[in-house]
Structure formats: structure tokens, C-alpha cells
Chains A and B, each alone.
Chain A
Amino acid sequence: AQSVTQLDSQVPVFEEAPVELRCNYSSSVSVYLFWYVQYPNQGLQLLLKYLSGSTLVKGINGFEAEFNKSQTSFHLRKPSVHISDTAEYFCAVTFNQAGTALIFGKGTTLSVSS
């Protein structure tokens, strides 16, 4: 079965600390991977995506993620977070098959405090 798992439901960190939000997937076919961010009372915004090529992907707002095929992971990282990064983060995957839609993980709440 094809699925995506976000291992942490909540991640509290202090401002300027590094953060890693974990995401693992399960698939028997090749995948495309995404991280979306949702600020309170807003829609979803794409942070970054992996389609092919370099396994280190850089996104907006200083975030990056690394695709690790052997570990079936796509963890999101930021070396120094800001208060404004407080939001819900969703890992999502779609599969290299016609007719498939995006599947979301359960989400990770990142709470940045001073």
C-alpha cells in the first residue's frame, strides 16, 4: 500500500534553533514528494518539492529537504527558525501513476517560541 507518515505530531522549538520535521513514505513505484505549510486560517502553500535529480531540495523561507530513497524519507530542515515559522506542516506524496492524486501526511505542528 502507498502511504505517507509524519512521525511527529508536534514539534516545539525555541527561536533561532534548528528544526527537523520527519516524513517517511511507502510506495512500490517512483514518487514525487512535497512539503506544504499552512498558517492559521489560510490555505496550503508549497514549501518545496522533489521530482527527480538532486536529492537535496531547497525551498522558500530557508527550508530544505533531502530525499533518501533507501530510507524512504523526505525530512524537512531549517537551520534557524523564526517565530513566523509557527504553522502546520504537511508532507505529501503523489505517485508516478496516471490518475493518482496527492496524499497528505497527518501534519506536524511547529511551534516556535522566544
Chain B
Amino acid sequence: DTEVTQTPKHLVMGMTNKKSLKCEQHMGHRAMYWYKQKAKKPPELMFVYSYEKLSINESVPSRFSPECPNSSLLNLHLHALQPEDSALYLCASSHSLGSSTGELFFGEGSRLTVL
């Protein structure tokens, strides 16, 4: 199993809603990532969890709240978002942070629209 599974694939929410994006991998990877990608732009790193602990937070606004319940799951809780937060949110995993291979495995992404 070499997949990273993200749900939902599409999400539309109002600025007062609370929603969550979910990510799951069963490759035994110990690093998991959230990236934000706007159209025609590269993915921007938001958060990295290493061994279920938050290792990197790239100064993301507090309306985005990550959670890593266990080594296979990664959530991104969303609250009071702004229209400019509309984007493709990509989850990824790797063997470990800064591992000798460095390769990230990406999910298909969750496309978020904030009205």
C-alpha cells in the first residue's frame, strides 16, 4: 500500500463554519505534512509532524489547527476561514523528517472553497 488518502476531495464552507480535512497513510511513515497550493503555484509547506509531534509550523494562522492522533492519521481543523484560504490542501508522508531518501508521497488533495 503506497497511498496517501485524503478526505473529502471537495469541501465548500462558509466563513463561520468548522470543518476538518483528513489524511491517512499505512506505509509506516513517521513524518506527515500539510501543504497549501494555490492555482499555478508550488505547494507551500504549512505543518510537519514527526513521530506524531509537531515539528514545523510555517507561521500558519491559528484558524488552521493540525492534529496527529496517531502515526497513520493527520487532520487539519478549519475554523473561521477567509475566502483567500480557498486552495488545494495536500497531505504527504515520508519515512521520516530529513530521511536519507527524502521522498514525499502525496495524496490527491482536498479542494477547499470558502464562501
Q: Which residues of A contact B (CB under 8 A)?
A: 32, 34, 36, 41-46, 49, 51, 88, 90, 94-102, 104-107, 109
Contact = CB atoms under 8 A, between A and B. Distances in A.
Contacts of B6: 43
A51 B48 contact: no
Interface string B90-115: 10100001101111111111010000
A109 B40 contact: yes
A6 B40 CA distance: 14
B90 A94 contact: no
29 contacts: A32-B102, A34-B102, A34-B103, A42-B108, A42-B109, A43-B6, A43-B108, A44-B90, A44-B92, A45-B106, A46-B104, A46-B105, A49-B101, A49-B102, A51-B102, A90-B42, A90-B43, A97-B98, A100-B97, A101-B33, A101-B45, A101-B56, A101-B97, A102-B45, A105-B42, A106-B42, A107-B40, A107-B41, A107-B42
Nearest to B47: A101
Contacts of B97: 98-101
Interface of B: 6, 33, 40-43, 45, 48, 50, 55-56, 90, 92, 97-98, 100-109, 111
Nearest to A32: B102
Given A43-B107, A43-B108, A100 B98 contact: yes
A54 B45 CA distance: 30
| 7 residue pairs, one from A and one from B, having the closest CB atoms | A94-B102, A104-B42, A32-B102, A43-B108, A44-B106, A43-B106, A98-B98
Contact of B104 (A98, A102, A106): A102
Nearest to B43: A104
Contacts of B98: 94-95, 97-101
A100 B96 CA distance: 10
